[in-house]
């Protein structure tokens, strides 16, 4: 089956630094990738949708200048949390979708847990 990897799986950083999370589709080309965030005991929330070669579309309330998304190839998308603060500590999950596939047919990465001190 289709596999999506994320790196790193865990990251701890100091407040004010930037953190980059990679999302890779290992055995298929993903025209669309999604980034989600989950705070403890809360729902998994969509942050943004990115199509290869285009600017990402951010959900309402998500700061595009703080969460930089790059989808430069069909197998790689990156999320950079700029000037991270403790309130950005969360679980970040990416997913990928093939062109023409149903919206529910997303292949999810295992997630990255970010802790900002």
Judged by CB, which is closer to other proteins: 82, or 113? 113
Q: Does 103 bind other proteins (CB under 8 A)?
A: yes
Q: Does 81 bind other proteins (CB under 8 A)?
A: no
DSSP result, the chain: ---EEEE-SEEEE-TT--EEEEEEESSS--SEEEEEEE-TTS--EEEEEEETTSPPEEPTT--TTTEEEEEEETTEEEEEE-S--GGG-EEEEEEEE-TT--TT--EE---EEEEE-
Q: Does 31 bind other proteins (CB under 8 A)?
A: no
Q: Does 104 bind other proteins (CB under 8 A)?
A: yes
Q: Rounded to whole angstroms, how far apart are CA atoms 33 and 9?
A: 18
Angle ∠(19,87,93) on CA atoms, nearest 5: 55
Pick out residues in 35-64 that bind other proteins (CB under 8 A). 36, 38, 41-46, 49
Q: Does 106 bind other proteins (CB under 8 A)?
A: yes
Among 35, 58, 77, 111, binds other proteins (CB under 8 A): 111
Q: Does 8 bind other proteins (CB under 8 A)?
A: no
Judged by CB, which is closer to other proteins: 31, or 49? 49
Judged by CB, which is closer to other proteins: 19, or 111? 111
């Amino acid at each position: 089956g289709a596999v999506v990897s994320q790196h790193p799986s865990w990251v701890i950083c100091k407040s004010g630094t930037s953190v980059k999370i990679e999302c890779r589709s290992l055995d298929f080309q993903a025209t669309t990738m999604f980034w989600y965030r989950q705070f403890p005991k809360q729902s998994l929330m969509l942050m943004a949708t990115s199509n290869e070669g285009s600017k990402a579309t951010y959900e309402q309330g998500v700061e595009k200048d703080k969460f930089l998304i790059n989808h430069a190839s069909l197998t790689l998308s990156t999320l950079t949390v700029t000037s991270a603060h403790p309130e950005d500590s969360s679980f970040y999950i990416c997913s990928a979708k093939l062109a023409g596939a149903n919206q529910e047919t997303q292949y999810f990465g295992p997630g990255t847990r970010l802790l900002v001190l």
